[in-house]
A and B are shown apart, each in its own frame.
Chain A
Amino acid sequence: MSVATIWVVVEPANGSLTSTSLELLTHARSLASSVSAITWGEGSTLAAQAGEYGATTLYDVGDLQGALPGVPVAAAIAQLVAGNSPDAILIPTSYDGRDIAGRLSARLDRPVLTNVTGINDENGLVTEHPVFGGTQTVKAHFTGDGPGIVVVRAKSFVAEASGGAPATVVAAPVGDTGASGKASITTSHVEERTGPKLEEAAVVVSGGRGLGEADKYALIVETAKLLHGAAGASRAIVDAGWVPYSHQVGQTGKTVKPTVYIACGISGATQHMVGMKGSKNIVAINKDPDAPIFQIADFGIVGDVHKVLPALIEQLKARA
């Protein structure tokens, strides 16, 4: 095995590691003989889970005291790299993950490869990146000194526990991060969510420009609720301010791989397709029979979402 050591940045969320973190640990384990993880918050409570998915050491940056994670976590990793550099550092594509990657890249003066959906060992690590809506895959690798920084999209790998012992927790505190570390969280707001998370739902119902107006997104929400799924959105209606960014599916938003994805009034811009083409089944409802979404849909209805969705809602209610 040409890859000796991989570090994985693992993100805490409500006392556990995020699903993307576990996916990355699982894949790192298959590539490298030694996997370590870096986290923050309360590392000791995460050691068992990190170990179960393959990390032998868990570096804990500790309490960030309200600072956004990007600066202190990158500073901690930079300190650790100075002593014992890994071959690569894997980071989840997330709000904080991207901050950490950017900060670390500039701090170490090392390049970063993002939007990665595959990593293989071909006499060195080769990354895969979907381009043009996922119709083509670019393969890339680093050419300079390591460690290369790789930012990986959610759902690129399947998380599997290895049954490893709890990781050994090593404190990795950082000192004063100076002016760059001055952005701090004053209040956190948790938005109420009914039903599953978008990335974890078995059914995702998404709406696009074909809905015509912001109020009609209620049809998407109701259909999703009746199917015990989550409501998603295309970039067009997020940009238009109809729906919060957190609902966006696509290149600039979330990647979803549900059992069934129901695209309503979404034409199928490449931007959108890359975030949902991995769904097990795709249903599309669109007025335009030539909409690109039909090229990847397993089941398509050429029709008006304003007629089909209310009828669908009636039928689902009748079954409930």
Chain B
Amino acid sequence: MNVVVCVKQIPDPAAPQSLDASHNLDRSGKLILDEADTYGVEMALQLVDKAGSGEVTVVSMGSAADVAGLRNALAMGAAKAVIVSDDALRGTDALGTAKVLAAVIKRESPDLILAATESSDGYTGTTPVQLAELLGLPSITFAKSVVVDGATVKVERQTESGYDEVSSPTPCVVTVTAGVVEPRYASFKGIMAAKSKPVEILSVADLGLGGAVGPSGARQEITAVVTAESRQAGEKYVDEGDGAEKIVAYLESIKVL
């Protein structure tokens, strides 16, 4: 069974973030593999392992100036990486991203496509489903468990009131929530092996996509960025054994107690 995992290299969320002059997220610094994607990579590795054959391919879009994040996925055990990197893609929206990923995934014809429910930098959260629609495939989002049984994928999908058992024929797009599996740490052997694994870098022209992607394809623009109304810090006490009492008094003062 071959599994594609859609991944994204993002600016380190722990570092200060800003928007550049064209209101795009400043991605000029160091990029890392989005932690949210490590769950999909781990899940894919486990499913392929269980199936007994096949491989995991990670597919991405974005700057390929630094591919350390992709190497991280390869070090975990993915066989190869494909990244579409092109200046023409700057300012591409979620639908455009899905178009790019769809063009790459068509060449791979996997049995299963995994992704995070959303990226940790853009948070749009629609790309995997847009991708499924473009590929004409079913999709199951918010999976908290994924099992493949022959040509069927069975998922426990998070709902507002609990979860649903959902099943679909493969190929299918599945998005996994964080915590679905525990991502492995890359071993030293894995890190060494990743250095010689293939990372294919493609351009928009390689995929024949043209004007459907990039800022003109996005058909949306940011008109302003304003500072939001901020909250003020209130009282603060160091607990000297009376912290709970103080909280009770505060809750009384706001009539919660």
Find chain B residues with CB under 8 A from A99 CB: 129, 139, 141
Once bound together, how far apart are the Cα atoms of A302 and B159, in whole Å? 36
B247 touches A308 (CB 8 A): yes
Shortest beta-carbon distance from A283 to chain B in Å: 6
| A302 lies within 8 A of B237 (CB) | yes
Provide the B214-257 mask, 1 if CB < 8 A to any CB of A, else 0.
Answer: 00001111111111101101111111010111111011001011
Set of chain A residues within 8 Å of B139, measured between Cβ atoms: 70, 99, 180, 183
* Residues on B with beta carbons closer than 8 Å to the beta carbon of A216: none
With A114-B125, A183-B138, A281-B254 as contacts: A301 and B162 at CB distance below 8 Å: no
B183 to chain A, nearest CB (A): 10
Chain B residues with CB under 8 Å of A245's CB are 142, 144, 158, 177-179
* Known contacts A260-B254, A303-B239; is-contact A186 B165 (Cβ 8 Å): yes
- Interface: A135 (CB within 8 A): yes
Flag B16-33 by CB within 8 Å of A: 1 or 0 each. 010100010000000000
A112's closest neighbor in chain B, by CB? B126
Interface string of B116-135 (1 = CB under 8 A from A): 01101001111111111110
B162 and A190 form a contact (CB under 8 A): yes
| Interface residue ranges of A264-295 to B (CB < 8 Å) | 269-271, 277, 280-283, 285, 289, 294-295
Chain A residue with the shortest CB-CB distance to B126: A102
Cross-chain contact B95 with A106 (CB below 8 angstroms)? yes
CA distance A102 to B157 in the complex (A): 17
Q: In the complex, which residues of chain B have a beta carbon less than 8 angstroms from the beta carbon of A98?
A: 125-126, 129, 141
**A86 close to B (CB within 8 Å):** no
Residues of chain A within 8 A (CB-CB) of B231 are 277, 282, 295-296, 298
A136→B95 contact, CB < 8 A: no
Which of the segments B46-54, B64-72, B166-174, B193-201 contacts the partner chain?
B166-174
| Cross-chain contact A185 with B234 (CB below 8 angstroms) | no
Distance in angstroms from A149 CB to nearest chain B CB is 9
Q: How far is the CB of A126 from chain B (nearest CB, A)?
A: 7
A142, B133: Cβ atoms closer than 8 Å: no
Q: Give the size range of A's interface with the partner.
A: 35 or more
**Cross-chain contact B243 with A311 (CB below 8 angstroms):** yes
Contacts A190-B161, A246-B158: A136 and B226 contacting too (C-beta < 8 A)? yes
Which residues of chain A are near B239, meaning CB under 8 Å? Answer: 301-304, 307-308
Which of A141, A144, A252 is within 8 Å of B223, CB to CB? A141
Residues of B within 8 A of A304 (CB): 239
Interface pair A308/B144, CB less than 8 Å apart = no
**Bound CA span A185–B226, Å:** 43
Across the interface, A95 reaches (CB within 8 A) one of B132, B158, B234, namely: B158
Residues of B contacting A259 with CB < 8 Å? 254, 256
The distance in angstroms between the C-alpha atoms of A70 and B129, with both chains bound, is 9
CA A28 to CA B95, docked complex, whole Å: 25
Give A142 to B159 CA distance when docked, in angstroms.
31
Choose among B133, B162, B225 the residue that contacts A137 (Cβ–Cβ < 8 A). Answer: B225
A65-B166 Cα distance, complex, nearest whole Å? 13
A99 to B236 alpha-carbon distance, docked (Å):
43
User: In the complex, which residues of chain B have a beta carbon less than 8 angstroms from the beta carbon of A256?
Assistant: none
Q: Does B164 contact A (CB under 8 A)?
A: yes
Which listed residue (A241, A246, A281) contacts B182, Cβ 8 A? A241
B59 CB-CB contact with A under 8 Å: no
- Asked whether A308 and B243 contact (CB < 8 A) given A297-B234, A300-B237, the answer is yes
The interface-forming segment of A30-38, A56-64, A312-320 is A312-320
Contacts of A178 in B (CB 8 A): 136
Contact across chains for B220 and A143 when beta carbons are under 8 A apart: yes
Which residues does chain B contribute within 8 Å of A239, judged by CB atoms? 35, 178-179
Least Cβ–Cβ distance between A178 and chain B, in angstroms? 7
Q: Which residues of B contact A295 (CB under 8 A)?
A: 231, 233
Q: How far is the CB of A264 from chain B (nearest CB, A)?
A: 10
9 CB contacts below 8 A, A to B, read A98-B125, A105-B94, A111-B219, A112-B130, A135-B227, A238-B179, A239-B179, A259-B256, A281-B256
A-B CB proximity, top 10 nearest: A303-B239, A102-B129, A144-B219, A106-B133, A311-B244, A298-B234, A183-B168, A191-B162, A102-B126, A300-B236
